[in-house]
Structure 1
């Protein structure tokens, strides 16, 4: 009887070892995301909106590339590992609601975010060979086998009246695609708040390059002269996701 009881216990242990999925591991996020997004730009991409209670909790299904080049559960502030570094402490930006919106459309995948924004920067500092571009490339190249799903770019007021902004933006997209060896890499550019001249140039990007789209920033609410409040950041992130979906639809139609 003792032998039979022992066999039963051993059999149960074998089942436990052979079937870990049955005990919750199926819901654990993958340690390697299926879709990876690079989020770059200025202070509203970094996030300046004050964090709300619960924002420091992990975002389900989303991973964040940390300062050691490893994936960890994503928590706000998402720009804290930027190697820019940022000129102020990052808080709540559009990456949170963007990732949630992408997951809502495709709940079976794990999302990876590489957030490397720098408040107060100009687009010239993001040109190939300049420090912010090269630092972002440094982070990307440190991830083995990385292939980006898309780049999200949010500018600021530093280039608000720059007549050459569109040309600089087109060059940035082309350089990223070439250096990452992804000629069709989707690129989503966000608008700055308000009716600034640079928005007119940003809206022309899809007419210059395929695989690009614009995330509108109509009527955002700010908590200071330049920075979107939390609700507007949530809306902006959702608009980035909608713009990404439009790029995918156009690609399917070709």
Structure 2
């Protein structure tokens, strides 16, 4: 693990030292660089990739080691609604974000490349960045996050039989990233749209987990899900307590539930969304939960 961490770190430093304007990452097994279209209409043609870095036409090509891929799905808190702040501009060491064609250095908003998202301006700070940074730090392995969340979605919209079937789109997305590494886990943060009916949710979540494991070919694939906000934004007397109690009580093999205790709202207690600081804390809790499932 230490060797993998140092390799990823050295590759990142090599990328930073290369000529601008761009850095293009290539898979660990790539024999050639991809063809790159330039803004002026010209292109950098593919050429042999004999080492871990190659500079051509002002573009630095960097070969990444094999990534630990993590699929991050759910509704708005996974998509990220925390206000963009100074920390959101940072790229994350040893963390890469899937953009549909390949991976790039990860920075907020992490859900910007989602194939099912709402408008780009709604995508802000979520838990994915802090999760991946902590997970990479502890494991010493580079992390590739595939983020495909949809704000406002119910769990029914994620399951087969719905018109949307967001889960199929998420599976398609993580498969598209398959040449870059192996799927290490799925993070699921959703439930605000279903919080009034916790009694209906367990069977649906079990089904969702089962589909993911079947489609991704791993019956023990770790899945971590998180509680929704503890404050009562629902206008129901019972608030979110029954829903969160249901999540905590679930006993699905190779899964874990992350607490939202002590987290703060983005705006006020009429808002189900976590603040940027709380999103980052939530992400670190996701990482710690996944590390215990290893």
Q: What is the TM-score with the length of structure 2 in the denominator?
A: 0.71
Offset, 1:67? 2.9
Q: Which moved more, 1:176-185 or 1:130-139?
A: 130-139
Offset, 1:143? 2.6
Name the CA shift for 1:125/1:101 in 2 (closer, same or farther; >3 Å). same
| Residue 190 (structure 2) aligns with | 155
| Residue 19 (structure 2) aligns with | none
Q: Is the contact between residue 153 and residue 187 of structure 1 (CA under 8 Å) also seen in structure 2? A: yes
Q: CA RMSD in A?
A: 1.9
Offset, 1:25? 4.4
| Residue 210 (structure 2) aligns with | 174
Name the CA shift for 1:212/1:30 in 2 (closer, same or farther; >3 Å). farther
Offset, 1:132? 0.7
Of the two, which has the highest radius of gyration? 1
Aligned residue pairs total 222
Name the CA shift for 1:185/1:197 in 2 (closer, same or farther; >3 Å). same
Name the CA shift for 1:38/1:26 in 2 (closer, same or farther; >3 Å). closer
Offset, 1:230? 1.1
Offset, 1:52? 1.1
Alignment of 1:123-134 (within 5 A): 123-130=155-162, 131-134=165-168
Offset, 1:34? 2.4
| Residue 200 (structure 1) aligns with | 245
Name the CA shift for 1:26/1:38 in 2 (closer, same or farther; >3 Å). closer
Higher share of residues assigned helix: 1
Alignment of 1:1-254 (within 5 A): 25=11, 27-28=13-14, 31-68=64-101, 70-86=102-118, 89-107=122-140, 109-130=141-162, 131-145=165-179, 147-162=182-197, 163-194=199-230, 195-205=240-250, 207=251, 209-224=252-267, 225-248=271-294
Q: Is the contact between residue 12 and residue 94 of structure 2 (CA under 8 Å) also seen in structure 1? A: no
Offset, 1:236? 0.3
Rounded Cα–Cα distance in structure 1 between residues aligned with 2:122 and 2:176:
24
Q: What is the TM-score with the length of structure 1 in the denominator?
A: 0.81
Unaligned runs of 5+ in 2: 1-6, 15-61, 231-239
Rounded Cα–Cα distance in structure 1 between residues aligned with 2:108 and 2:222:
25
Higher share of residues assigned strand: 2
Rounded Cα–Cα distance in structure 1 between residues aligned with 2:275 and 2:158:
25
User: What does the per-residue CA deviation read over 1:22-55, in whole Å, with 9 as the maximum and x for residues that have no partner?
Assistant: xx64745753542110000010111101111142
Rounded Cα–Cα distance in structure 2 between residues aligned with 1:103 and 1:30:
18
The one of the two structures with greater contact order (alpha-carbon pairs below 8 A, sep at least 6) is 1
Unaligned runs of 5+ in 1: 1-20, 249-254
Offset, 1:156? 3.5
